[in-house]
Amino acid sequence: MGKVAARPRYEIPVAVDNGPTPERAAKSVFTRGNPPRVLTTVQSLLNAGDITQDDANAGERWYRDYVFGKFGYVEYAPDYVKDATIKHDPVSWQVVRAKAWGRVLDVKRAYGVGAELRLRMMLVDEMSFTKMAKEFFPHMSLPTARTKISGQSAMLLEQLAAFYRNKDGVRCATKQEVLVPCAQV
């Protein structure tokens, strides 16, 4: 019996910078922070004061429902604490996923296909106002079209926030009679 040769040991370097690759950085504008995030149209509307934080949160809520309903995964916040009381089997996971997609369809039914298209372009595809303006208003001058699409996006996010407030209010009113007071929901 001969001596067994030891495999060489490879040190895996720890990633120091958790930012975007140079290729990805060339495609978008990123915010400063850790980790850097894509500067979305919603963030630029919020920075300009055109929408409130509630409107931005409504956009984020729609985006999370869309991603979970369509692709089947959830991105948790860094400070998320896992709830150990709920465990999903494959069937219940699909039921929760279907409910998320149902909420996306509720918004589509309430505001139409055009609104859903604008939300998808803004939040899912991360298109800039300039790219959206070229898609929706190819016959107009770019500054005018960009201003129009920016105003439409701000109004849509305001309507979306009102939609969620009304929907949550109806849910709270229903649960208030049956289960617990609305403030505890």
Contacts of 74 by beta carbon, 8 Å cutoff, 6+ apart: 64, 67, 68
3-class secondary structure, 16: coil
Rounded distance between C-alpha atoms, residue 155 and residue 161, angstroms: 10
Residue type, 18: N
pLDDT in tens for each of the 185 residues of the chain?
566 667 776 666 665 566 667 776 676 666 666 556 666 788 889 889 999 999 999 999 999 999 999 988 877 766 777 777 777 778 888 888 899 999 999 999 999 999 999 999 999 988 889 999 999 999 999 999 999 999 999 999 999 999 999 987 765 555 444 434 444 43
Residue 63 resides in a domain: yes
CB 45 within 8 A of CB 160: no
| pLDDT at site 183 | 46
What range defines the domain where residue 166 resides? 41-78+88-184
Tokens standing for 100? 């998320």
Residue 106 resides in a domain: yes
Residue 10 resides in a domain: no
Looking at the DSSP bridge assignments, the partners of residue 141 are none
| pLDDT at site 14 | 63
Residue 139 resides in a domain: yes
Kind plus residue range of the DSSP H or E element containing 47: helix 41-48
Name the domain count of the chain: 1
Residue 2 resides in a domain: no
Residue 95 resides in a domain: yes
Residue 100 resides in a domain: yes
* Planar angle of CA 133, 144, 160, nearest 5 degrees: 55
| pLDDT at site 182 | 42
Rounded distance between C-alpha atoms, residue 64 and residue 69, angstroms: 8
Residue 5 resides in a domain: no
